[in-house]
Amino acid sequence: MITVQKFGGTSVGSAQRIAGVADLAVAASARGEKTVVVTSAMGGVTSTLVAAAERATQGNWNFDERPMLAERHDAAARALFGDDARLLAMVREQLDHGLERVDSLCFGLSLVRELTPRILDAISGTGEMLAAPILAAAISSRGVASEAIHATELIVTDDQFGDAEPLAAETRAKTQGRLVPLLQAGVIPVVTGFIGATAGGVTTTLGRGGSDFSATILGAALEADEVWIWTDVDGVMTANPADVPDARTMRAISYSEASELAYYGAKVLHHKTINPVQFARIPVRILNTTNPDGQGTRITFEGHPSPTGVKAITSIRNVSLVSVSGRGMQGIPGIAARAFGAIAAERANVLMISQASSENNICVVVRSEDEARVVRSLRAALEFDIMKEHIDDVTADDSIAVIAAIGDRMAGTPGIAAKVFGALGAENINVIAISQGSSERNISLVVSESDASRAVRVIHEAFALGRKN
């Protein structure tokens, strides 16, 4: 059995946590499983590196965080295998090398003062390169051979820096070539999550939180039996417990439910995690390092459909509703096409679309960080229609949230929308816009941000998703 096991930033956040991870890897090897470990950077390190890059771009040529980062990693190394001079020296060399690289990049940035996504990837992707050698050495010090490997040697991506897409065939060839011999020799490879490289060898990243995606990319490339994502919660929940205190961990969900949930703000998984394993139907488990015997959530093709249709309710904040409206829009073809073209040109992701059949208004939900750019781009692209008064204006509202009810069985189950809106109506919660994809796995609605928590709670309640039920 081959498993790819990914450990997130909190799971490798301290010497003590790394020891726990090393124990889990060693236990898997003792059970005779061939294990590939994927590690995140130690918790908080990626954000520290991003902040350093931003300050360097403002002209600060000193990598001020270097001593702190050096000490944090070195302290973990000393605590884990300080008595083994050879291991310690080896790891220190790699830590030094990684930090030196960031130092040089930041110095360069302070001179050119332009932070391109390409340079940001080179800097932000270093955190994983600092963590991997420590974890590999911790495993070795427990008597099981282990080797730290940079995913730049394995995962080949396109050159969309900051959000790179893996190239499956190339990745498969490289990953199998490099990892299979190690697995056969009983070595546990510890691979850096989050990063990859273009065919030309330039470092890319898969987007923040991307180590989950790294794990499934490698799982698919190796035709692994399972991918385990170790995190600091018990699994995927029916709602965010901050909104709904009696939210419950779901034992089993389907790939499509997991994707919808990841997309709609349940922060457990990077939103592309499921893509690589879907075709090969490799099961994914979400497990908790602080509760390793818990069952977690198992994600498979079939999942475990809920009889009521709805399995989970999520919410996304920090989004804006951008509306293009005007009575003159009726029957004029091409406005939607130009509007979406203008949004795409800004590379802004559209989370939700809705247009009423009166055609007076098209509204889209985008991340608030993209709002200003999207509005500007729409106004420019629709200038002529605004001039001719087909369109009154392009407006934006950032005081909203998107709520989504998700479940496979919603498809073909009548009455779900009625129940959702009935619950909101009974609580006097105003619904600003609605959309349901034709996959019918998701009903999304826009409400005022101040109503978001309550909206999630009442829908959760209406479908009896809570623990007490």
- Name the site residues for Mg ion (rule: CB under 5 A): 8, 209
Of residues 406 through 435, those in contact with ligand ASP by CB under 6 A are none
Minimum gap (Å) between residue 270 Cβ and Mg ion: 6
| Closer of 39 and 444 to ligand ASP (Cβ) | 39
Contacts of 77 (CB under 8 A, 6+ apart): 88, 91, 92, 95, 134, 137
- The binding track of 3-32 with respect to ligand ASP, each residue x by CB under 6 A or -, is -----xx-----------------------
Residue whose C-alpha is closest to residue 174's, from 197, 142, 140, 190: 197
User: Can residue 41 be called a binding residue for ligand ASP (CB under 6 A)?
Assistant: yes
| Sign for the pseudo-dihedral over CA of 340, 343, 349, 351 | negative
- Other Cβ atoms less than 10 A from the Cβ of 239: the count is 23
Residue closer to ligand ASP by CB (options 171, 211) is 211
Q: Which stretch binds ligand ASP (CB under 6 A): 40-48, 275-283, 302-310, 351-359?
A: 40-48
**Binding partner of residue 161 among ligand ASP, Mg ion, none, CB under 5 to 8 Å per kind?**
none
Q: Which among 135-143, 202-210, 222-230, 446-454 is the span making contact with ligand ASP, rule CB under 6 A? A: 202-210
Written as six digits, the tokens of 161 are: 């820096």
Q: Using CB atoms within 10 A of its CB, is residue 432 exposed (0-12), middle (13-18) or buried (19+)?
A: middle
Smallest gap, in angstroms, from Cβ of residue 43 to ligand ASP?
A: 8
Angle between helices 211-222 and 168-184 (to 10 degrees): 80
Give whichever of 38 and 335 is closer to ligand ASP, judged by the CB atom. 38
Tell me how far the alpha carbon of residue 2 is from its chain's centroid. Answer: 24
Question: In whole angstroms, how far apart are CA 469 and each of 403, 419, 461, 463, 465?
Answer: 22, 17, 9, 10, 7
Closer Cβ to ligand ASP, 123 or 244, answer by number: 123
User: Token pair 């020799």 is at which residue?
Assistant: 185
Residue 210 found at the interface with ligand ASP (CB under 6 A): yes
Closest separation in Å from C-beta 177 to ligand ASP: 25
Q: Does 303 bind ligand ASP (CB under 6 A)?
A: no
- Of 46 and 249, CB closest to ligand ASP: 46
Q: Are 224 and 36 contacting, i.e. CB atoms less than 8 angstroms apart? A: yes
Q: Which of residues 211-230 bind ligand ASP (CB under 6 A)?
A: 211
Structure-token pair, residue 200? 């030309």
Q: Where are the alpha helices (DSSP H) in 287-347?
A: 335-345
Which of Mg ion, ligand ASP, none does residue 235 bind to, with CB < 5 to 8 Å depending on kind? none
Q: Which is nearer to ligand ASP, 8 or 303 (CB)?
A: 8
DSSP for residue 438:
T
Query: If you ran DSSP here, which 8-state letter would residue 327 be given?
Result: G
Task: Choose among 412, 385, 404, 399: nearest CA to 463.
Answer: 404
Output the CA torsion 159→161→162→163 (10° steps): -20
Contact partner, 157, from ligand ASP, Mg ion, none, Cβ < 5-8 Å per class? none
Kindly state the smallest distance separating residue 231's Cβ from Mg ion, in Å: 7
**How many degrees, rounded to 5, is the angle at CA 113 between CA 70 and CA 71?**
5
Helices (H), 360-405: 368-381, 383-387
User: Binding-site residue total for ligand ASP (CB under 6 A)?
Assistant: 12
Lookup result for tokens 């039996």 = 225
Q: Looking at this protein, which amino acid is placed at residue 324?
A: V
Judged by CB, which is closer to ligand ASP: 63, or 194?
Answer: 194
Hey, what amino acid is at 132? A
Q: How far is the CB of 191 from ligand ASP (least distance, A)?
A: 12
Is 12 or 386 the residue whose CB approaches ligand ASP more closely? 12
Pick what 407 binds: Mg ion, ligand ASP, none; C-beta below 5 to 8 Å, kind-dependent: none
Instruction: Tell me, residue by residue from 44 to 73, as one string, x for binding to ligand ASP by CB under 6 A and - for no binding.
Output: --x---------------------------
Among 127, 133, 219, 305, binds ligand ASP (CB under 6 A): 127
**Taking CB within 5 to 8 Å according to partner kind, which of Mg ion, ligand ASP, none is near residue 148?**
none
Say whether residue 194 binds ligand ASP (CB under 6 A). yes
Residue of minimal Cβ distance to Mg ion: 209
What's the Rg (C-alpha) of the chain? 24
Binding range to ligand ASP, per CB under 6 A, among 38-46, 143-151, 251-259, 315-323: 38-46
- Altogether, the residues listed in the chain come to a count of 469
* Closest to 134 (Cα-Cα) out of 70, 47, 63, 198: 70
Out of 3, 5, 11, 40, the only residue in the binding site for ligand ASP (CB under 6 A) is 40
Residues engaged in binding ligand ASP (CB under 6 A): 8-9, 40-41, 46, 127, 193-194, 208-211
